[in-house]
Amino acid sequence: MIKQLNPGAASGRTAAPLINVLMLIKHSLFISSLFIIFIMETLTTANAQDTPTKASSQQMVDALHAAFGKHPNARAVHAKGIILEGDFKPSAEAKKLTIAAHFQHGTIPVTFRFSDFTGIPDISDMNGGSNPRGLAIKFHLPDGSSTDIVSHSFNGFPTANTDEFRELLLAISKSGPDAPHPNAVEQFLGTHPVAKTFLTTQKPPSVSYATLSYYGVNAFKFTNADGESHFIRYQMIPEAGDEFLTADQLKTAGPDYLSMEIKKRVAAHTPIRFNFYAQVAEDSDTIDNPSIAWPDSRKMVLLGVLTIKSITPNTLAEDHALTFNPGNLPDGIEPADPMVIDRKKMYPISVAERNN
């Protein structure tokens, strides 16, 4: 497995503010991913949120459009993706942490959606802006309800609260090729060293969506049948391990290589399994700041195994009907990070816009 920095290959239709900003940065290839992870689902600095979010949910969605452009029938972020189906089998240890329904009994059906970053629906998989990759998971519960996880392929966020996320998006929208230096993004980075450090460690292109680890960076509170609670963050680790493109593979990888590869992998009945973990916080860990990843030494509890088995038709109607919301939670799981509440309010607005 060879790790190489992501080349910034051209995409098709793009959001001018973001792409122009990327082209302006001179610090070599790793900065081609500079703003990519920024804009994720929700981000901010090294200070945890201790005041209510000022921006409205509509303002947050509008800021995403300002950075990426507004595209018909497309999600505001992680617009390019592919839907698959499979199942989840919980471990015996999972029910010791939480009473949540999907961890109590046998195997249940699951819907998955892998995606590229940004709100650009035809971005090239080889463009630096397509990272981090996304993995959204919908567990179909026995009573007919569901619960969701929204994750991405980087362990952490560069910032700590929703309002700073909006500042970043608006800074990107104002930092086109004609903007004087230091432009808005450069000024943002100058006052957010944690974000700048974080954003220089992006992953290279993976062999497959199935050969990447994914992280649910916001924290949640798990409560078990005895009333005991623990703070956790999710990790989905591929059973076969992370694997990245070699230099020769990079030369031949096309703009849609990830969706083509996962279709071939499924058709060949190649096993696609992820070990689904809860990383358990200790008393010294910061719970409400997603920009601070917890140490690798923290206890990891295997919650079960996620298995991908088939590709869905992936029609426009299917994509419109399929929504994921990190605030869609069952009994036994609660938000521990205020950003989850903000995201819960934002997602329905984005869904309504793409369906109109």
Q: Cβ–Cβ contacts within 10 Å for residue 267, how many?
A: 10
Q: What are phi and psi of 66, to 5 degrees?
A: -60, -35
Which residues have a Cβ under 8 Å from the Cβ of 50 and sit 6 or more positions away? none
Q: How far apart are CA 66 and CA 255, in angstroms?
A: 24
Which residues have a Cβ under 8 Å from the Cβ of 197 and sit 6 or more positions away? none
**165, containing H or E segment:** helix 162-173
Q: How far apart are CA 288 and CA 281, in angstroms?
A: 11
Closest Cα to residue 314, out of 138, 114, 123, 180? 114
Q: How far apart are CA 326 and CA 78, in angstroms?
A: 14
Q: What are phi and psi of 320, to 5 degrees?
A: -65, -40
Cβ contact 8:27 at 8 Å: no
* 65 included as an active-site residue: no
- Choosing from 65, 78, 102, 152, which is the catalytic residue? 78
Residue owning tokens 């995201």: 343
Give DSSP secondary structure letters for 196-208. HHHTT-PPPPBS-
Q: How far apart are CA 347 and CA 336, in angstroms?
A: 18
Q: What are phi and psi of 312, to 5 degrees?
A: -85, 175
Q: What is the set of active-site residues?
A: 78
